[in-house]
Amino acid sequence: LVAAVLAAALVAGGVGGGIGFWAADRTSGESSTTLTASGDPKTESRTPGSVADIASKALPSVVTIEAQSGGGEGGTGTGFVYDKQGHILTNNHVVASAAQGGGKLTATFSNGKQYDAEVVGRAQGYDVAVIKLKDPAGATLNPIPLGDSDRTAVGDATIAIGAPFGLSGTVTTGIVSAKKRPVASSDGGGTGNASYMSALQTDASINPGNSGGPLLNAQGAVIGINSAIQSANSGGGFGGGQQQAGSIGLGFAIPIKQAQYVADQLIKTGKPVYPVISATLNTRESGNGAKIASGGDGSAPAVTPGGPADKAGLKAGDVITKLDDTAIDSGATLISEIWTHRPGDKVTVTYTRDGKQATTQITLGQREGDRN
């Protein structure tokens, strides 16, 4: 999330002017010939399916979101039209400051028309939010088609649209670099809360301000919501700290299949629902699996009595190393994978206890709403 402030670089203009004067002085009094390149018919026709064609269709449905908190602090993010009723899909961390502090939200379309908006619902854990135009009269609401994120493959082409550093309507391209990449990202607000995703990784250039924007496939369908980056000067996420992170080709998007499920819940009830195993995990350690907290500190039990993990026979100190066919190397990875499922789903868990490996099946429970 980045304030829409960009310093103009005037050096290039000055250098260009100087070179122009030097060339004019050298050729004064001499004849010159101007050459004009002929147009490329293929380029001018914008071949169907080209990046330019896809961008021209998607841009009118992408909005730049200005979020201003009650204290007057502001930031810029991105969203895209979800349905014809005026719902806009974006990231929770784009709108959180305005939602928490009685602030103001506006959505500006590519034609420059600006609309006041309000939060319909937001899911901090998933980093998904839905906002709605307060008065959509006059707005052209053409939802961008949603693709199937499960069917994407490493190497597939990607197109990201957003407002990096406040530069609305920016289009960048790349590929799907990896799938099911476990990512835990901070909201940058100093709350200590984190979002977890089993992300699509892309090398398309995305930066602060791209948050909430669509990641498209080569057919122009949304396969993800751009949500976080790994950069040379940050540990992940678009928020946090004095320095603004920049793209180094490691961007992460929430798969649209998950985001759609969450968005539909938010539109219907205003609250997210999370699948859970009802056990406290150690999220600070990684490499050997997801360890259920040992307990014994007088706080709530590490495994909730009667909860899904308890019913499956898991105990404090167990280390979960596999969920179905996915290897688990940390608590964050386990949470990311659990949240790709639905409450009531049955999953197979492999774990170790006292050096011995065992397998059990868990029926996922549910938790409604976010924990503050």
**Positions marked active-site:** 93, 127, 211
Show Cβ contacts of residue 356 under 8 Å, excluding neighbours closer than 6 positions: none
User: Which among 247, 231, 107, 101 is positioned nearest to 173, based on CA atoms?
Assistant: 247
Task: Give one DSSP letter per residue of 121-147, joined into a string.
Answer: EEETTTTEEEEEES--TT----PPPB-
- Residue 68, amino acid: Q
Query: Two tokens at 288?
Result: 């050997």
d(CA 42, CA 149): 31
- Please, which residues bridge with residue 175 across strands? 157
- Residue 200, amino acid: L
Asked if 86 and 118 touch (Cβ cutoff 8 Å), the reply is no
Query: Two tokens at 117?
Result: 């908006």
3-state secondary structure of 26: helix
Helix (H) or strand (E) holding 334: helix 331-338
- What is the CB neighbour count within 10 angstroms for residue 48? 9
Residue with tokens 């349905």: 83
Asked if 237 and 186 touch (Cβ cutoff 8 Å), the reply is yes
d(CA 135, CA 137): 6
Strand segments (E) across the chain: 62-68, 74-81, 87-90, 104-108, 114-123, 128-133, 157-162, 170-186, 194-202, 214-216, 222-229, 251-255, 273-276, 290-291, 319-323, 326-327, 346-353, 356-363, 365-368
Asked if 218 and 156 touch (Cβ cutoff 8 Å), the reply is yes
Burial of 154 per CB tally in 10 Å (0-12, 13-18, 19+): exposed
H-assigned helices in 170-291: 256-269
